[in-house]
A and B are shown apart, each in its own frame.
Chain A
Amino acid sequence: MSSNAILVVGGGFSGITAALEAAEVGHEVYIVEKNPFLGGRVMQLNKYFPKLCPPSCGLEIQFQRIKNNKKVKFFTMAEVTKVTGKAGDYEVTVKIKPRYVEPGSVDLSEKCKKLSKDIPSEFELGLGDRKALYMDVPFAFPNRYVLDKERCTKEDLELLSGSDVVNLDDAPKEVVLKVGSIVYATGWKPYDVTRLTNLGAGEIANCVTNMQLERLASPTGPTNGMIVRPSDGKSPRSVAFVQCAGSRDENHLNYCSYICCMASLKQAAYVREAFPDARVTIYYIDLRTPGRYDNFAKRILDDDRINTVKGKVAAVAEDAGTGDVILTVEDAVSGIKSDNRFELVVLATGMQPSIAGERLPVDVPVDEMGFIVGGEEKGIFAAGCAATPLDVMKSAQSATGAAMKAIASVRGR
């Protein structure tokens, strides 16, 4: 039997948008998110360009929309494992990992503090720790802890067994959904910096990635929003941004990641706001600020302590004594090669499709980089960065368009 319901794979900004836009027309929608919380990549961001406004502002509205709409159902810690059927009539198997924390809010923060181990936090990208019982951020959605049971000691488990919302016997579940079409909104991940051997391969303490800088600048981040050097906690007085770290490079990502130029301009503004004496240099190939982002670029670059240099960064080295970072740069216009010292360096690492290298449970064509490049005739539609690198605004636009196609696909039969 054909179904009007829509499955959205991925609960980041694109997935949430696609789901809500379809549900507010009246369609039943299921979001399947592999992480314990919705929100995806934008949850990690401090501010959006060009308004320099907090992402949690829009997310709060999205979460309210989910709360107020019974047509939207979501599964966290969930993955689609099997899809059978055809356009208009899919049967989808979703596997849900145990959360070990039951619905019903209880402030578990005191219990958290007492747990034995500090575990490197995936969310903080190596800059901070979490406990086995955790929430990524205080505005996480759902606002409910998750337990990483495997990382608990015997004492931890004893401590937790006393809470009436912690269910240590929670087990994996499987649900089967009937849907008519599928939106793939699986988003992106930062390109693996360890593969950028000429840019330090992630081994230089004060050479961080742009996503790490977001966490450093964020009030919920490991430093409560203080931008400091990982090596010594000092405030940097000189910061360089290395554009196209992995992007526009046949050996890594053969495309432009769309957001990194605007992201670095935004982050230059973070640095300048935090440290009135700091100077910033952005090394770029092309400064790509399309459309009305031109105004944003002009506004940021109007600051005479922010400089841009068209040039390729050939090498990154650590100055052992000071922890400073030395960039070897060839200026593209003058041709002069020089070494430049900075207290902090930010690699503008590109975006890679989250599903790159993975086997999908649906038969859709994927290009050599992992972007979904077809499937529409099967009622499967890619939204946001699963299809092409985009910023948040264009992802929301893309997701709304994908929701339209999904609706037309289930109604048209």
Chain B
Amino acid sequence: MAEKIGVYIDESSVAPLLSAEELVAFVKAKCGGACPIVKSHKRLSSPDGVAMIKADVATGELDAVLLCGTSPRVDWELFDFGDKVIVDRVNLREFVVLGYKNPDGSAPVPGQPVPPELTSMVYDYLRMGVVKLQKMGTPNPEIPETVKTILVLGGGWTGINAALSASGAGYDVVLVEKEAALGGKAAGLYKTFPMNYPYLEATDTGIDRLIGLVAGNGKIRVCLSTSLKLLAGAPGQYTATLVTGGKEENLAIGSVVLAAGWTPMDTDVLAAYGYGTLQNVITSAQFEAMVKAGAITRPSDGKAPKTVAFIVDVTKAMEATPAAPVEEAPAEAAKPADKKAGEAAEAPAFSPIKTPKHLAYSSELTSLVALKQANYVREKLDDAVALIIYDSMMVPGLNERYYRAAQDNPGIMLTKGTVTGVVQEGITMVVSATDTLLGGDISVAADLVVVPTGLVPATALDPTINLLYRQGPAFPDLALFDGFADSNYICFPYETRRTGIYAAGCVRQPMTMAQAKEDAAGAALKAIQCIESASRGVAVHPRSGDLSYPVFNFVRCTQCKRCTEECPFGALDDDEKGTPKPNPTRCRRCGTCMGACPERVISFDNYNVDMIGSMIRECVIPPKIEEGGPRVFILACENDAYPALDMAALRGRKWSPYVRIIPVRCLGSVNAIWVADAMSKGVDGVMMLGCKYGDDYQCHFVKGSEICNRRKENIAESLKRLGVEPERVEQYQVAIDEYDKIPDMIDQFMDMVLKIGPNPFKGY
């Protein structure tokens, strides 16, 4: 908790509307006890300004510095005064000088007397800034004992590449494969699509060479015929229970690369093309196995086919089956063993996801496999031809060159078309298609028909990672991705809701071996990074490097379980009674637990319920709306809403002078007590500005804004009971680029508040 704060007012930010000298006098008068040094400077960010603060810090008289001027988003690098001095900012330029307008909408005139609304605004922000620092301490993390071994789950192409990447950077690896040999699906391939320039020919996969490298690598321990029964603990401190031939072994693990791969989809959707009834209709997986074994033959008579048709278009298969994911009844076997009584009932049961969409998602591989296998026909059979019928050839990127090479092959015919059916005439298969480029509707004879293989990620069918977490054994909410262990984030493809576990390869998305190799390296890096961060006591993305973590004051805990249920990352387990058990290395420091707790049990050294509550209490609320106007607090997500407000101000937009903006880590951290405090103080409204939620959520902590919205319903109920209109508290979803809209949102909310009239508690 800062006790000796140096307060510095930046003249260049507040001029010409406000007098820096007058602000210095205000801080000295109101907060002098906590602020031994209060000064102003022509421009704090100038070398001279920085030198002035450094000199004050050097006297040892200060434990915190409060810079009152520009937004904290600028000039961060200039104001570093060492680890012992906390630095915080009061955003006077963007939120006060640029964002201010008079109650009648006019802009303040420089040189004229300072409008009283502007004075009360700047005073409120200064007082809030000082009290915030008084409630802020330097984080003092527990440095846990960590293990640096990485568990790679899955010994196929992706897993092997991940293991080699991690070991290449100096980390020990345990490579777990459920089959009796390494290699996975890759071992069954005759060839794979081009992995390198010039992208013209299929190549040997190279899997045998990689298996050899693993075998000769002292840092990689290979566990074959082994499954992961349970993963207990937290990043840097996991215990993995492995089962090999009925024997269990516990290993200490730091983090995990999930490379569990895929299984072929149920073939029922392929019935539309005669699969299952016609002998000479086979899947691409079966065709590959046949080529790998040596010869291409027709199942009905063992003869070499002269024409092989490859079906790439799956329109009819998709139409024939329901589009909605089929969630099967929870499988008993899916529950991890060793569950304590009481926990099993609470953790959501795992539901497998089966959907025909898996076939559609596999489109890139379906197209590339057809091109590759058409080339097999040309390579392995004399005079045989291949026909590919596609809707769109899904060969993005440099594989266009591979497609082009196939087009130049006289024995490979390609046409767009919608395949309508496959029938048998004699021993010949007849494939019919409409809307082709060969002249409308066609029927072509083929000796063998190859239908595509849809990829089903391991995580769609089984929890796979078998976590001993209170929130259940699997990644939560994978139905959003139809079972793929993927990320919702475009910018952060490895971010998931289970810290320390990073998916790679086809369990994440259908991808080529070239992509999977790169993905394996990326996931290995994230696994390494997580271990290194845990061992330094710092958070991983998105608050990378944050040293704070939630501290629990269990004396007051009523075992209500809200925190353990709401944590988006499953960081909290609990005991039989329901007392939370924190796992700091799982935690992302969003504060959702802090927002959940009705007893104020949870706090961070540098962010806590008392801090924001005190800031709210520091503001002067006029006893009557007619004398000083209404007051509205804006609790703004610091990741998106706050920058958007900054940009609105920089773009010349202004908003009601009666609002006070308080940044929060995430709306998930908003505690209902803040709203209650504000209301009991006579505040007329509270706006919560947070990220979009729903399927395409933009919240960097996944669930924060959604959870806040749910809690808001309870807040509304409580307000109603107190006789306060629930409309006074509202949450808005704003994106970071909605800077041109936010000022209007604020003004409309203010109009609404004015229409309702004063908070009935005002003046008490």
Convert A251-295 into 0s and 1s, putting 1 for each residue whose CB lies closer than 8 angstroms to a CB of B.
000111110000000000000000000000000101111111011
Q: A288 — which chain B residues lie within 8 A by C-beta?
A: 392-396
**Structural contact, A292 and B737, CB atoms closer than 8 A:** no
Convert A99-114 into 0s and 1s, putting 1 for each residue whose CB lies closer than 8 angstroms to a CB of B.
0000111110100000
Q: A332 — which chain B residues lie within 8 A by C-beta?
A: 416, 437
**Which among B521, B545, B643, B739 is the interface contact of A404 at CB below 8 angstroms?**
B521
B736 within 8 A of A: yes
Which of B72-80, B126-134, B603-611, B752-760 faces chain A? B72-80
Do A286 and B394 contact each other (CB < 8 Å), given the known contacts A13-B491, A48-B490? Answer: yes
Q: A315 — which chain B residues lie within 8 A by C-beta?
A: none
Q: B529 — which chain A residues lie within 8 A by C-beta?
A: 21, 24-25
Which of B165-173, B298-306, B702-710 faces chain A? B165-173
A310 within 8 A of B: yes
Q: B198 — which chain A residues lie within 8 A by C-beta?
A: 367
Q: Which of A22-47 contact B (CB under 8 A)?
A: 22, 24-26, 46
**Structural contact, A53 and B482, CB atoms closer than 8 A:** no
A143 within 8 A of B: yes
* Cα distance, A59 to B393, chains bound together (Å): 33
Q: A104 — which chain B residues lie within 8 A by C-beta?
A: 43, 45-47, 49, 75, 78
Q: Which of A103, A218, A220, A408 has the most CB of B within 10 A?
A: A408
Q: B735 — which chain A residues lie within 8 A by C-beta?
A: 53-54, 57
Q: A403 — which chain B residues lie within 8 A by C-beta?
A: 522, 525
B552 within 8 A of A: no
CB distance from A133 to the nearest CB of B (A): 15
Q: Which residue of B lies closest to A369 (CB)?
A: B398
**Structural contact, A219 and B739, CB atoms closer than 8 A:** yes
**Structural contact, A61 and B74, CB atoms closer than 8 A:** no
Q: Which residue of A lies closest to B692 (CB)?
A: A53
Convert B61-89 into 0s and 1s, putting 1 for each residue whose CB lies closer than 8 angstroms to a CB of A.
00000000010011111100000000000
Q: Which of A52, A68, A139, A401 has the most CB of B within 10 A?
A: A401
**Structural contact, B168 and A412, CB atoms closer than 8 A:** yes
* Cα distance, A367 to B45, chains bound together (Å): 47
A209 within 8 A of B: no
* Cα distance, A377 to B73, chains bound together (Å): 40
Q: B394 — which chain A residues lie within 8 A by C-beta?
A: 286, 288-290
B117 within 8 A of A: no
B357 within 8 A of A: yes
Give the size of the chain A interface in residues (CB under 8 angstroms).
87
Do A405 and B77 contact each other (CB < 8 Å), given the known contacts A58-B491, A219-B737, A292-B484? Answer: no
Q: Which residue of B lies closest to A308 (CB)?
A: B392
Q: Which residue of A lies closest to B518 (CB)?
A: A401
**Structural contact, A164 and B736, CB atoms closer than 8 A:** no
Q: B541 — which chain A residues lie within 8 A by C-beta?
A: 24, 61, 65
Which of B139-147, B206-214, B243-251, B360-368 faces chain A? B360-368
**Structural contact, B165 and A404, CB atoms closer than 8 A:** yes
**Structural contact, B43 and A407, CB atoms closer than 8 A:** no
A354 within 8 A of B: no
* Cα distance, A284 to B395, chains bound together (Å): 14
* Cα distance, A333 to B396, chains bound together (Å): 22
B227 within 8 A of A: no
Convert A105-142 into 0s and 1s, putting 1 for each residue whose CB lies closer than 8 angstroms to a CB of B.
11101000000000000000000000000000011000
Do A139 and B169 contact each other (CB < 8 Å), given the known contacts A51-B698, A256-B396? Answer: no
Do A389 and B396 contact each other (CB < 8 Å), given the known contacts A290-B364, A394-B515, A396-B491? Answer: yes
Convert B503-545 into 0s and 1s, putting 1 for each residue whose CB lies closer than 8 angstroms to a CB of A.
0000001110001011111101110110011000000111011
**Structural contact, A292 and B481, CB atoms closer than 8 A:** yes
B28 within 8 A of A: no
Give the size of the chain B interface in residues (CB under 8 angstroms).
94
Q: Which residue of A lies closest to B538 (CB)?
A: A24
CB distance from B417 to the nearest CB of A (A): 9
* Cα distance, A107 to B651, chains bound together (Å): 11
CB distance from B539 to the nearest CB of A (A): 10
**Structural contact, A61 and B532, CB atoms closer than 8 A:** no
Q: B442 — which chain A residues lie within 8 A by C-beta?
A: none
Convert A1-22 into 0s and 1s, putting 1 for each residue whose CB lies closer than 8 angstroms to a CB of B.
0000000000001000000111
**Structural contact, B437 and A54, CB atoms closer than 8 A:** no
* Cα distance, A218 to B169, chains bound together (Å): 42
Q: B398 — which chain A residues lie within 8 A by C-beta?
A: 255-256, 371, 388-389
Q: Which residue of A lies closest to B491 (CB)?
A: A58
Q: A21 — which chain B residues lie within 8 A by C-beta?
A: 522, 525-526, 529
Q: B517 — which chain A residues lie within 8 A by C-beta?
A: 401
**Structural contact, A401 and B46, CB atoms closer than 8 A:** no
**Which among B74, B361, B493 is the interface contact of A294 at CB below 8 angstroms?**
B361
Q: Which of A389-410 contact B (CB under 8 A)?
A: 389-390, 392-394, 396-398, 400-405, 407-408
* Cα distance, A107 to B533, chains bound together (Å): 37
Convert A55-91 into 0s and 1s, putting 1 for each residue whose CB lies closer than 8 angstroms to a CB of B.
1111111101101110000000000000000000000
Q: B764 — which chain A residues lie within 8 A by C-beta?
A: none
CB distance from B222 to the nearest CB of A (A): 20
Convert A328-361 into 0s and 1s, putting 1 for each residue whose CB lies closer than 8 angstroms to a CB of B.
0000110000000000000000000000000000
Q: Which residue of B lies closest to A367 (CB)?
A: B197
Q: B554 — which chain A residues lie within 8 A by C-beta?
A: none
Do A65 and B416 contact each other (CB < 8 Å), given the known contacts A105-B75, A400-B521, A404-B525? Answer: no
A305 within 8 A of B: no
Q: A407 — which chain B residues lie within 8 A by C-beta?
A: 169, 525, 528
* Cα distance, A403 to B528, chains bound together (Å): 12
**Which among B93, B511, B524, B700 is the interface contact of A61 at CB below 8 angstroms?**
B700
Do A60 and B639 contact each other (CB < 8 Å), given the known contacts A104-B43, A286-B393, A367-B197? Answer: yes
Q: A286 — which chain B residues lie within 8 A by C-beta?
A: 390, 392-395
B494 within 8 A of A: yes
CB distance from B174 to the nearest CB of A (A): 19
* Cα distance, A144 to B74, chains bound together (Å): 8
Q: A412 — which chain B residues lie within 8 A by C-beta?
A: 168-169
* Cα distance, A139 to B395, chains bound together (Å): 36
* Cα distance, A224 to B652, chains bound together (Å): 13
Convert B690-720 into 0s and 1s, putting 1 for each residue whose CB lies closer than 8 angstroms to a CB of A.
0110001010100000000000000000000
CB distance from A13 to the nearest CB of B (A): 7
Q: A234 — which chain B residues lie within 8 A by C-beta?
A: none
Do A256 and B395 contact each other (CB < 8 Å), given the known contacts A58-B492, A397-B493, A404-B524? Answer: yes
**Structural contact, A67 and B43, CB atoms closer than 8 A:** no
Q: Which residue of B lies closest to A405 (CB)?
A: B521
CB distance from B97 to the nearest CB of A (A): 9
B123 within 8 A of A: no
**Structural contact, B169 and A310, CB atoms closer than 8 A:** no
* Cα distance, A64 to B489, chains bound together (Å): 17
Q: Which residue of B lies closest to A262 (CB)?
A: B396
A248 within 8 A of B: yes
CB distance from A5 to the nearest CB of B (A): 15
Q: B511 — which chain A residues lie within 8 A by C-beta?
A: 291
* Cα distance, A396 to B74, chains bound together (Å): 25
**Which among A60, A67, A284 is the interface contact of B640 at CB below 8 angstroms?**
A60
Using CB atoms and an 8 Å cutoff, list the residues of chain B in contact with chain A: 12, 43, 45-47, 49, 70, 73-78, 93, 98, 165, 168-170, 196-198, 357, 360-361, 363-364, 390, 392-401, 404, 416, 435-437, 481-482, 484, 486, 488-494, 509-511, 515, 517-522, 524-526, 528-529, 532-533, 540-542, 544-546, 639-640, 643, 647, 650-651, 691-692, 696, 698, 700, 735-740
A-B contact list, 7 entries, CB within 8 Å: A24-B529, A57-B737, A107-B650, A286-B394, A396-B490, A400-B521, A405-B165
Closest 7 CB pairs of A and B: A58-B491, A104-B45, A400-B522, A401-B521, A54-B737, A404-B525, A290-B364
Using CB atoms and an 8 Å cutoff, list the residues of chain A in contact with chain B: 13, 20-22, 24-26, 46, 48, 51-62, 64-65, 67-69, 103-107, 109, 138-139, 143-144, 164-165, 218-220, 224-225, 247-248, 254-258, 284, 286-292, 294-295, 310, 332-333, 365, 367, 371, 373-374, 388-390, 392-394, 396-398, 400-405, 407-408, 411-412
